[in-house]
A = this chain, B = another copy of it.
Amino acid sequence: MAPPHDDKAAADFAEDSTHKRPISNILFIIAMQTEALPLVNKFQLAEEPDSVFPKGVPWVRYSGKYKHLHINIVCPGKDATLGVDCVGTVSASLLAYASVQALQPDLIINAGTAGGFKAKGASIGDVFLASDVAFHDRRIPIPVFDLFGVGSRKTLSTPNLAKELNLKVGKLSTGDSLDMCPQDEAAILANDATVKDMEGAAIAYVAHLLNVPVIFLKAVTDVVDGDKPTAEEFLQNLNAVAIALDLAATKVVDFINGKSCSEL
């Protein structure tokens, strides 16, 4: 293909060529170490002690080579005082920002567990690809600020990936609470979401800021519109669903190997 002759076309060309270059460097962002460790083992990644992150942060990075891919898996790690995983949008966005700056990935995959809505077709153990993300707990009732709060955006389009691996596709809604108050529920309904997590839309925001494509793999641990309390159902299913997530993520990586973003 001959190089284009004007700046606009040159910019399009550069963007296209990025999307058409085979993906070589994948960054997984995973909020809980229980969710991450099966994948770390599967890809035979090693924990990197000489961190690319600043001193004092609890963030953990595993890296290595799998097939033709460099893979990094980063987790926000355990809170130094409380010892629990640093879940939620603040930690996830910081980790996404610092990881993209340090590792310059071609593609981000945010993998993790989620609540699912049975009214929208979700069941325990389903793994969803998110077509869209938005926030459901950032209510700013001032014109235009309201849209900023919701922060709705499309993810990287991956029709071949969804079809080949037979993954369900649905919209993802993000908030910092594990439970769901009536205002959250109304916003999730407005977001037309099938799955609900605590990090996705924040990672999408950072990926958009830094111009990195991102996809979301969300495995359903609990049915939000079901009979059981979310926290109980989440803890009960976490380990089993982490295995389903691990299987799906491995298939996704095998599918990505050798392909460009535009082929997904």
Contacts and interface: CB of A to CB of B under 8 A. Distances in A.
Given A211-B56, A235-B142, A176 B86 contact: no
Contact of A148 (B79, B94, B138, B141): B79
Given A177-B137, A177-B140, A231-B141, A88 B206 contact: no
A182 interface: yes
A102 to B, nearest CB: 11
Q: How large is the interface on A (under 10, 10 to 19, 20 to 34, 35 or more residues)?
A: 35 or more
Given A54-B101, A54-B210, A93-B90, A84 B182 contact: no
A138 B56 contact: no
A177 B149 CA distance: 8
A202 interface: yes
A16 to B, nearest CB: 18
Nearest to A179: B139
The interface centre, meaning the residue of A89, A144, A147 with most chain B CB atoms within 10 A of its CB, is A89
Interface string A155-185: 0000000000000000000011111011100
A57 interface: yes
Given A56-B211, A82-B148, A181-B182, A94 B142 contact: no
30 contacts: A54-B101, A56-B209, A56-B211, A79-B148, A82-B147, A83-B144, A84-B148, A87-B140, A87-B145, A88-B138, A88-B149, A89-B89, A89-B90, A90-B90, A90-B93, A90-B202, A94-B94, A137-B177, A139-B177, A139-B181, A140-B179, A140-B231, A142-B178, A145-B178, A149-B176, A149-B177, A176-B176, A181-B181, A181-B182, A183-B183
